[in-house]
Amino acid sequence: MSTENIERAVETASALVDEMCRGLAGRCAEDGRLSRALLDEVQPEAFTLARLLAERSAAASLVPWAQAQGELERGLAALYVASFVRNVGQVIAWEGSAFGVDPERASALAGLRGWVEEATSTAVRVGLGRRLLERSHEPSGALGIGDDHREMQRLFARFADERIAPVAEEIHRHDRLIPEPLLQELAELGVFGISIPEEYGGSFIDHLTMCLATEELSRGSLGAGGSVITRPEICAKAILKGGTDDQKRKWLPRIASAETLVSVAVTEPNAGSDVAAVRVTAERIEGGWLIDGEKTWCTFAGRADAFILLARTGTPDSGHRGLTLFLAEKPAFGAGEDEHSFVHRQEGGGSIEGHAIPTIGYRGMHSYTVTFDRYFVPEENRIGEEGKGFILQMQGFAGGRIQTAARAVGVMEAAFRKALSYAGERQVFGRSLADFSMTSAKLADMAATLQASRQLGYHVARQMDEGEGDMEASLVKLLSCKDAEWLTREAMQLHGGMGYSEEYAVSRYWQDARVLSIFEGAEEVLALYVVARQVLAGALSS
C-alpha cells in the first residue's frame, strides 16, 4: 500500500468533514455565535461529527507512522484510513442535509473508490491477519517510538508481566484492593510521580513516557495497574497550575513517593459530567473550611490519604465560578480492614464516611460514595484562588483524558494478544481457528483500530509536551474508549463460549473496558460539549 494514497485519502475526506463542520455550525448559529439551545436540538448530528473528527485525527496520525514502518503497518494504516473514508461517504450520502451539506458531495470521494475497495477487501484483510499471526514481537504492529522510549516501554512491560498480571485475576474475581507490597513496588518504579517534575521528587520525562507506562501497566490490569497513575496525574496537574510554592514543595514529593495516596472527589449523585452543578459546600470558618455533602465515584477513597475535592464556596446559583479546590486529608483504610467501607471522625466533631459501589469491573481500588459532615479542612489546604477550582480541575482532567486513552490502548493490547494466541491454538471443525478467513480479517480490523488509537495518543502526548493538545486529548479519549469496548468484545467472540467464562482473562478485559467511555468525561458530554461545541464555535469565527 502506498503511503501517498493513504495521505491523499486523508486529505480528501478531511475536506468533506470540514464542510460538515461549517454546515452544522450554520444550523447552530444565532446572531453569528454558537447557540447552546440550537446545538442541543442537533445532538445526534453533533455526536456523529465528533466521532468523525476523532477518526480523522487518528487517520492523520497514521500517515507518518506508516511512512516510517514496513508493509504490514502500511496495510493496517490503509485499512483504517479507508474505513474512515467510507464512513464519511456514508454519512454525507445518507445524512448530508442534516449537516448542511448536499448529499451529492459524497461524489468527491469517487476517485478513491477503487483504493478503498482494495484496502478493505477480504483478501487484503486476511493477508494482514495472517502476517499478524506470524509475528513474535510487537503483535499488533510496530510502536513507532525511539530507542529511549523503547527502553522505558520494556521496563514497564516487564513489570506488568512479572508483578501485575500474576495477581490481576485474583484481584478482579474477588474484588480485592491492590496488595500493599505491589503498591510499594509501583512507588519504587516511579509510577506515582510520572506526571510530577523531578524538582518536586517526581519522575516526569514527557507525556509519551507516561502513555507508554500506562499502556503496559493497563495491559497487566486496568484497575490494579495503569489506573494508579490517574489520580496522581489529576491532582498533581491541579497543584502545579494553582498551588503556591509551599504547597508544591509539601504535597508533590509526597504524592510522587506514594507517601500520600490521593482520590478525586468531584462527581456527585446529581452532578456527574456537569461539574459546574456541584452542590457539596465549603463553609468558611476560622482557620479553614467545613465540608458538607456527598461525593460519589471516588476511586481508591478508602486507601487514600487525601482527596482532591471540588466544593461550592459561592452561592448556589454561582455555577462554575463558585467552586474551589481543596486537599482534604484522612487516614488510610487498607487491606486487612473492611476494604469496602470506612468512617473517620475528627476531634472537632466532623466526619467522613465511605461505602464502596459494587461494579462489574475496574477492580483493585474500589470506587466509593463518600459523605462529608462538617468535615474540617485547613485554609492552607485550599488549592488556588477561591472560585477558581473549576478551571484547575478541568486542567487536571485534560491530562487525565490522555492517560485514560492510554489505559484503553493497554486493555485493547491485552485483549488482542489473547485473541491472537487463542486463534492459533484453537481447533474448530478439524482446522485451526486462525485458518478461517473470518478470523484473520477480524484480527486485521482489531490491529488497525488499536494502532489508530495508539498513534493518535502518541501524537497528542507530543503536543502536550509543547503546551498544546487539550482538544486532541478529548478526541483520543472519545475514540479509544469506545473502540476498546468493540475490540474486547471481538476478542471474547473469538474465544467462543470460553470467552464468556471466568477461566480466561479476556472476559475481564471486556468488563473493564466498559467503564472507559464513562469516567473522565462521559462520551456523550465529551463529544457534544467539549469537542463539537468548540469545533463548531471555531467554524463560525473563522
- 503 three-class SS: coil
Q: Which of 419, 428, 433, 263 is nearest to 356 (CA)?
A: 263
Phi, psi of 110 (to 5 degrees): -60, -35
Tell me, what's the pLDDT at 519?
83
Tell me, what's the pLDDT at 1?
63
- 79 three-class SS: helix
Q: Are strands 306-312 and 262-265 parallel, antiparallel or unpaired?
A: parallel
Q: Which of 255, 212, 525 is nearest to 383 (CA)?
A: 255
Helix ranges (H only) for 96-201 are 113-119, 122-134, 147-159, 165-173, 180-189
Q: How many CB atoms lie within 10 A of CB 294?
A: 16
| C-alpha dihedral, 384 to 389 to 391 to 392, nearest 10° | 50
Tell me, what's the pLDDT at 336?
53
Between CA 150 and CA 215 the distance in angstroms is 13
Q: In this structure, are residues 393 and 310 in contact, taking their beta carbons and an 8 Å threshold?
A: yes
Tell me, what's the pLDDT at 273?
64
Q: Which of 343, 332, 394 is nearest to 520 (CA)?
A: 394
The contacts found for 460-468 with CB under 8 angstroms, 24 or more apart, are: 460/207, 460/402, 460/405, 461/206, 461/207, 461/208, 461/210, 461/211, 461/402, 462/206, 462/207, 462/208, 464/207, 464/399, 464/402, 465/206, 465/207, 465/208
Q: In this structure, are residues 407 and 483 in contact, taking their beta carbons and an 8 Å threshold?
A: no
- 383 three-class SS: strand
Q: How many CB atoms lie within 10 A of CB 93?
A: 14
* DSSP letter string, 449-493: HHHHHHHHHHHHHHHHHTT--HHHHHHHHHHHHHHHHHHHHHHHH
Tell me, what's the pLDDT at 428?
84
Cα 384 to chain centroid, rounded = 26
Cα 74 to chain centroid, rounded = 26
Question: Grid coordinates 494514497 are at which residue?
Answer: 5
Query: What are the Cα distances from residue 203, in Å, to 190, 193, 319, 412?
Result: 6, 5, 36, 26
Query: What are the Cα distances from residue 162, in Å, to 157, 168, 361, 455?
Result: 9, 11, 22, 26
- 345 three-class SS: strand
C-alpha cell at 232: 496522581
CA angle 260, 261, 262 (to 5 degrees): 115
C-alpha cell at 10: 486523508
Between CA 240 and CA 260 the distance in angstroms is 16
Q: Which residues are designated catalytic?
A: 520
- pTM value is 0.95
* DSSP letter string, 196-256: S-GGGT-----HHHHHHHHHHHHHH-TTTTGGGGHHHHHHHHHHHHH--HHHHHHHHHHHH
Tell me, what's the pLDDT at 337?
59
Tell me, what's the pLDDT at 493?
96
- Those residues of the chain that have pLDDT short of 70 are 1, 271-273, 334-337
C-alpha cell at 493: 467472540
C-alpha cell at 321: 465560578
Tell me, what's the pLDDT at 535?
96
Domains of the chain listed by start with CATH number: 3-120 (1.20.140), 260-390 (2.40.110.10)
Convert the pLDDT of each residue in 34-47 to its tens digit: 999 999 999 999 99
Between CA 350 and CA 343 the distance in angstroms is 11
